[in-house]
Amino acid sequence: MKSDTDIEAVESDQPTLSVTEKAARRVLSVAQREGRWDACLRVRVTAGGCDGFTYELGLEDEPDGRDEVIDSFGLRVVIDPRSAPILKGSVLEFNDVLLGGGLKIYNPQATHECTCGKSFAI
């Protein structure tokens, strides 16, 4: 059985967000199509939606000084300090299916996702 200190050590070793290669390629492709060669992806958690929280994804030119910056497959992902604890251990993936495809965040802390696919509870 793990002690509380062992559990805390494992949790602190988890990255805030992992990005799959397919997701990174997709975001970089969109940024390049928009002529934003050095853009980074901002991932933010905001209050709202059916279940309490929603994800906001968008391109930005530069990270803010307080942001956590994650480099993954040539993509810079920026996460603000308020969103980081909620995203801890999450994975950003891309699925190119016709219906329901796109970028998706899989968050191990989410206890429920709304059927709309846009909001979650923790």
Grade residue 120 by pLDDT with cuts at 50, 70 and 90. Answer: confident
| pLDDT tens-digit map of 64-116 | 999 999 999 999 999 999 999 999 999 999 998 877 779 999 999 989 887 77
Q: How many CB atoms lie within 10 A of CB 51?
A: 18
| 26 pLDDT above the threshold of 80 | yes
Nearest one of 77, 66, 83 to 103, comparing CA atoms:
77
Query: Could you give the domains of the chain?
Result: 4-121 (2.60.300.12)
SS3 6: helix
Residue 10: band (very low, low, confident or very high) from pLDDT cuts 50, 70, 90: very low
3-state secondary structure of 41: strand
